[in-house]
Structure 1
Amino acid sequence: MMAVLLPNASAEIAGKGSAHDGRIQTAIYSPDNVFRIYAMKDRVTMIRLEDGETIDSDDGAMNVGKPGDPKNREWILGANKRGSVIMIKPSRYAEEPETNMIINTNRRTYLIELKLAKSLASMTYMLRFDYPKPAPVGETPFKGRDLNVNPCDGKINTQYQRRGDIAISPYQVWDNGTFTCFRFPTNAPRPVIYEVLPDGTESMVNMRTVNDITVVHGVSQEFRLRLNKLVMAVRSKVPNTGWYNYNGTTTGEIREVKK
């Protein structure tokens, strides 16, 4: 669909001229920009759309102007059968042809400001567009990220005993000397995790969730999991060595930056 509206004063973007002929112009498309075309009476300007992009025009051409005598038509507009090329020119009888035009296609809306060129050298013979490509979408929104990231990677201890209510039991527990990881069934209720201190009291731990892993910020000889009246004890078979994480990472990978 194409329409010519009343004159509108605004800032516009002109296409960049070709190195071979400045009247062949290319503009970077944005739905937030108004594009300027310099036309001349009795000269046709062509607007080329993206391959596969078309306007909705039943007869392929429209004349727009004052009602009555055909000589009063301000603009003559047309399109090819595929609707991918639009031709416009101001009528030789146009009195005040400068106006704006809106082009709606099956993909986009173009806002065009139509001006009269003062010479053939400054006229727009063709306006085409470069279309910024959207960021590629992968199979998941996490493309480029490791979905199986292990926040407790490195030298790990997997020797843990579990005793208590199996309904709240993690199916995997391990630590890397800095963090302790609990992996629960996806559809299972998540209990609250407490650290059992040397005096037998319980202290709630600091933790976060990474994908399907609950990461406890620290290690302990024993954790206690509680959910209402359900209780489970998770105890490490290995004494806590408390080795220091010199590189400050959970994976052991470091990057050296040289200046």
Structure 2
Amino acid sequence: MSALDSGMGIGDAQAWGIDVRGNNVFLKPIAEKPETNLIITTNKGRTYSFQLVTSKSPHYIIKLACDKPKTGKDKKFDIPCFNGNANFRYGKWGDEALAPKYMWDDGRFTCLKFTKNDELPVAYQVASDSSESLINYHLEKDTMILHGISKEFRLRLGKQVLGLRSDDAISSGYNEKATSINGTRELNYD
């Protein structure tokens, strides 16, 4: 916990006594009803969120076990939003300066891969009545991952506009892994 990129935050700091020693966090309830939350971030980029409550049968020790990072030999070529079935058939029109280098969808997410130094446009989903609405997204390296699929998207940056369309968007529907993010982690309790 002493590294600059790790830390801890607690909702009601007066309700709990906290001591940190190396990778260990010691907690002791002080208040009569000390229910609060605790968030711990590690220097490995992990974030743990806890709900702290008192109990008649408490867990005195909780250990968190994480998989070790894969070595270069074990790493797979990781492509965002690719589950083995991808649609790359997208057409474009408008300001080519906004065009992504590649574009595809996997039936749940739409990915736009840009050149590393490109200024990223704002993405809009186009409805059947031609109205535009902002679409949520997140970035993974140089790939903009739109949270959904659509027959048509528009990218805007200043006065520039680029239309993107696919009549072949895959609709996979069911989420077999029951998660919306890759790399889910399990907590192992001893």
| TM-score, with structure 1 as normaliser | 0.39
RMSD after superposition: 3.2
- Flag the structure with larger Rg: 1
Match of 2:100 among 170, 176, 186: 170
Deviation at 1:210, TM superposition (A): 0.3
Distance 2:171 2:130 in 1: 20
* Pair 239,216 (structure 1): closer, same or farther in 2 beyond 3 Å: closer
Which residue does the alignment assign to 1:228? Answer: 158
Deviation at 1:246, TM superposition (A): 2.4
* Pair 223,191 (structure 1): closer, same or farther in 2 beyond 3 Å: same
* Pair 239,217 (structure 1): closer, same or farther in 2 beyond 3 Å: closer
Residue deviations 1:128-164, cap 9 Å, x none? xxxxxxxxxxxxxx97585953221111111110111
Distance 2:143 2:77 in 1: 10
Residue deviations 1:198-257, cap 9 Å, x none? 1110000100000111001110000000001100001013055353222235799999xx
Which residue does the alignment assign to 2:61? Answer: none
Distance 2:165 2:137 in 1: 18
Distance 1:185 1:221 in 2: 24
Task: Check the 8 A contact 1:206/1:216 in 2, yes or no.
Answer: yes
* Pair 207,198 (structure 1): closer, same or farther in 2 beyond 3 Å: same
Which residue does the alignment assign to 1:179? Answer: 109
SS of the residue aligned with 1:167? helix
Task: Check the 8 A contact 1:151/1:250 in 2, yes or no.
Answer: no
Unaligned runs of 5+ in 1: 1-141
Which residue does the alignment assign to 2:146? Answer: 216
Residue deviations 1:23-81, cap 9 Å, x none? xxxxxxxxxxxxxxxxxxxxxxxxxxxxxxxxxxxxxxxxxxxxxxxxxxxxxxxxxxx
Aligned length: 116
Which residue does the alignment assign to 2:81? Answer: 152
Which residue does the alignment assign to 1:65? Answer: none
SS of the residue aligned with 2:128? coil
Unaligned runs of 5+ in 2: 1-68, 186-190
| TM-score, with structure 2 as normaliser | 0.53
Deviation at 1:188, TM superposition (A): 1.7
* Pair 239,180 (structure 1): closer, same or farther in 2 beyond 3 Å: closer
Task: Check the 8 A contact 2:105/2:170 in 1, yes or no.
Answer: no
Task: Check the 8 A contact 2:92/2:165 in 1, yes or no.
Answer: yes
User: Percent identity over the alignment?
Assistant: 38
